[in-house]
Structure 1
């Protein structure tokens, strides 16, 4: 098991502080002292597949870690009390300054990566989106650059996040 897995990182119960915080077989840790149980489930996130009128795919360049400098799709984590669709609209506004006009859910992709010394598990929902206005796109938030690619020119190895790489590959293959 990797050293950043929650079972390796969390040594003390966050409720009572006991060092009797033990791994269970159901993606959880349980405190033998107070009974507190913590599940390390996948966090929800969204990603937008956006094509322009020429059929080019919009890819962003990550301004932050993990995978700083690699290509990505616009999107991000779903906030507490927010639907995936609301998160999609918010993330597009934050990262591109654009408004989602229409969207269609495709499927979800599991992922895991290391952040702040901890393995983070995600469930990344892919949406194909059209924007109200493509001329307003401007990189912001955790995006440092926006690039358009004809599908045959996309280099999957330049996409840093595994689930996003798979998402883009599947989209290109099933068009």
Structure 2
């Protein structure tokens, strides 16, 4: 099944017309009301949380897509929310974690298929220092969390290419510091 928005969206979201036609590589336009829809990336954040020994926190997803697979804690940025505030909110919702400091690390594009619809994302990674790693509790859309060294990790358990890249970059930078 093709989940690309150009294949899934059949009706104008403004007027409901079936005359909602592809007008480019990433847009649709309604012939009835003139509404022009562009397929843009949604913004998302991922947190690189480490413990005192340099191990990286990965969470086990508790929702589809990729239920039971590894991920970095994080999620979509809410409308009118900064990326930094989204990191703080997501970590608190998912783990009860309070952010002490955070630093932008980098970004990568990704595809997120949800409800048979592709959402293109721009994932932004942040290095995070927590107020405390005590009494964290998996909540919201995660089942569990664990801190990993690279040797303990199977990259095949991380399905999202952007997240896999952030994790590899983290361990590469850790090796470069030694």
- On whether the aligned pair clears a TM of 0.5, the verdict is yes
RMSD between aligned alpha carbons? Answer: 1.2
* Mapping 1:8-87, distance limit 5 Å: 8-25=7-24, 27-87=26-86
The alpha-carbon deviation at position 42 of structure 1 amounts to: 0.7
- For the residue of structure 1 that corresponds to 2:24, the secondary structure is coil
Question: Could you list the per-position Cα deviations for residues 68-114 of structure 1 after superposition, in whole angstroms to 9, with x for gaps in the alignment?
Answer: 00001000000011100000000000111010101110111100031
- Structure 2 residue runs of 5 or longer lacking an equivalent are none
Partner residue, 1:125: 124
Partner residue, 2:156: 157
- Structure 1 residue runs of 5 or longer lacking an equivalent are none
Is it true that 1:92 corresponds to 2:117 in the alignment? no
Alignment partners' CA distance in 2, 1:102 and 1:30: 44
The alpha-carbon deviation at position 15 of structure 1 amounts to: 1.6
Partner residue, 2:173: 174
Aligned positions, number? 174
Alignment partners' CA distance in 2, 1:26 and 1:37: 13
- Following TM superposition, the consecutive aligned residue runs of length 4 or more in structure 1 with deviations greater than 3 angstroms are none
The alpha-carbon deviation at position 28 of structure 1 amounts to: 1.3
